[in-house]
């Protein structure tokens, strides 16, 4: 870290699998951030994670807020929607997970709190922090695309650490949908219409109409028996194709970039381009798609 740059004190909300494998180790590794404390609704889980990462287990959410200047959330969307406005009201910068909430009203409440209190936000769309993804989007900016096909398919909801309550109840649309909707929107232009069919707990198809006339087709499932995930996006146009295969996106290369950019945003007081406004836009698309699928 360059001389004169300030280490950001971050509190972590959550002590589940994603907090233990991504948020916690990423923030504790530094040097741009220091993991100031961990708090979770299960005190024993928070204590175990804090001990492993060499930090403090806060006894309450209020104590966590007192110990940090920024808060990272690794909790279910409805819990994030409940707790993030309190952190914003306390003047804390927010590192937010997708989806922002389980419904549009919850997402708007978070966005309204951020706007009211003027805090910096950043969204954990992990793949967006990888150089391969950024190169793809840079190329997409000059690619004449007529349409695109994308998929995010795996079997994690069939069992294991990611087969959690909210994912099993609400399915692939809120969990996997933000990744593909974000990339399709960024690569092809703003999504102006979205239509959905299927059952998110099994398989859901999204058809998006983009400003400028391109059309994208997105396939989502977390309940198919595959040896490994099959995911990515491919653009098609008169000049050929342009593709991004998620297999080329190593998350270990995303986390240092995400951490450094969050620390910079907090120090400078400037929201990241992937901020709560982007999260709210994606939530609105999820809301429209979910209503039509239902």
CA distance 294 to 283: 16
pLDDT greater than 70 at residue 3: no
Phi, psi of 52 (to 5 degrees): -65, -35
Whether the bond between 92 and the residue before it is cis, its omega within 30 degrees of 0, is no
> pTM of the full predicted structure?
0.95
Residue 237 has pLDDT above 90, yes or no: yes
The answer to whether 37 and 27 are in contact (CB under 8 A) is no
Whole-number pLDDT of residue 290: 83
Name the residue range of residue 197's domain: 131-249
CA 71 to chain CA mean position, Å: 15
Rounded to an integer, what distance in angstroms lies between the CA atom of residue 189 and that of residue 261? 24
**In a domain? residue 280:** no
Are residues 119 and 32 part of one domain?
yes
Question: Is the same domain home to 236 and 137?
Answer: yes
Length of the chain equals 294
Closest CA to 30 of 251, 262, 250: 262
SS3 149: strand
Element (H, E) at 240: strand 240-245
Burial of 122 (0-12, 13-18, 19+ CB in 10 A): buried
82, containing H or E segment: helix 77-89
Average pLDDT over the chain reads 95
pLDDT of residue 74: 97
The answer to whether residue 67 sits within a structural domain is yes
* Cα–Cα dist 20/27, whole Å: 11
The number of domains in the chain is 2
Give the Cα separation of 206 and 198 in Å (integer): 9
CA distances from 106 to 171, 198, 270, 291 (A): 18, 24, 24, 16
Kind and range of the H or E element at 66?
A: helix 61-66
pLDDT per position as a tens digit, 82-128: 999 999 999 999 999 999 999 999 999 999 999 999 999 999 999 99
Q: Give the three-state DSSP class for 14.
A: coil
**Cα→Cα distances 244→69, 91, 151, 187, 228, Å:** 36, 38, 11, 11, 17
Residues 17 and 111 in one domain: yes
Q: Are residues 118 and 31 in the same domain?
A: yes
Is 294 domain-assigned?
Answer: no
User: For residue 1, what pLDDT band results from cuts at 50, 70 and 90?
Assistant: very low
Query: Could you tell me what percent of the chain has a pLDDT over 70?
Result: 97
Bridge partners of 71, per DSSP, are 11, 94
Q: What is the CATH number of the domain that holds 57?
A: 3.40.50.720
pLDDT tens digits for 265-294?
999 999 999 999 999 999 999 999 986 555
Q: Is the domain of 110 the same as that of 78? A: yes
Phi, psi of 254 (to 5 degrees): -80, -40
For Cα atoms 112, 116, 119, give the angle at the middle one, nearest 5 degrees.
95
- Angle (CA) 257-3-267 rounded to 5° is 55
In a domain, 23, yes or no: yes
Same domain, 113 and 159: no
């Amino acid at each position: 870290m360059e001389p004169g740059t300030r280490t950001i004190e971050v509190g972590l909300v959550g002590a589940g699998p994603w907090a233990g494998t991504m948020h916690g180790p990423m923030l504790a590794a530094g040097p741009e951030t220091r993991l100031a404390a961990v708090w979770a609704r299960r005190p024993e889980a928070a204590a175990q994670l804090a001990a492993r990462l060499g930090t403090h287990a806060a006894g309450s959410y209020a104590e966590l807020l007192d110990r940090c200047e920024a808060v990272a959330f690794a909790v279910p969307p409805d819990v994030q929607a409940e707790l993030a406005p309190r952190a914003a009201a306390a003047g804390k910068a927010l590192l937010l997970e997708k989806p922002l909430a389980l419904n549009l009203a919850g997402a708007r409440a978070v966005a309204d709190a951020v706007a009211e209190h003027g805090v910096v936000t950043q969204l954990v769309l992990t793949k967006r922090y990888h150089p391969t993804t950024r190169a793809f989007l840079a190329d997409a900016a000059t690619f004449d695309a007529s349409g695109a096909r994308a998929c995010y398919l795996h079997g994690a909801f069939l069992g294991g650490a990611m087969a959690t309550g909210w994912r099993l109840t609400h399915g692939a649309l809120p969990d996997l949908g933000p990744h593909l909707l974000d990339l399709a929107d960024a690569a092809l232009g703003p999504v102006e219409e979205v239509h959905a069919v299927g059952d998110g707990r099994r398989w859901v198809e999204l058809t998006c109409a983009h400003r400028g006339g391109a059309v994208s087709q997105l396939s989502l499932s977390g309940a198919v028996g595959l040896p490994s995930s099959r995911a990515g996006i491919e653009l098609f146009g008169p000049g050929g194709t342009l593709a991004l295969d998620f297999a080329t996106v190593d998350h270990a290369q995303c986390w240092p970039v995400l951490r450094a950019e969050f620390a910079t945003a907090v120090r400078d007081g400037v929201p990241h381009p992937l901020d709560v406004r982007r999260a709210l836009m994606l939530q609105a698309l999820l809301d429209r798609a979910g209503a039509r699928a239902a």
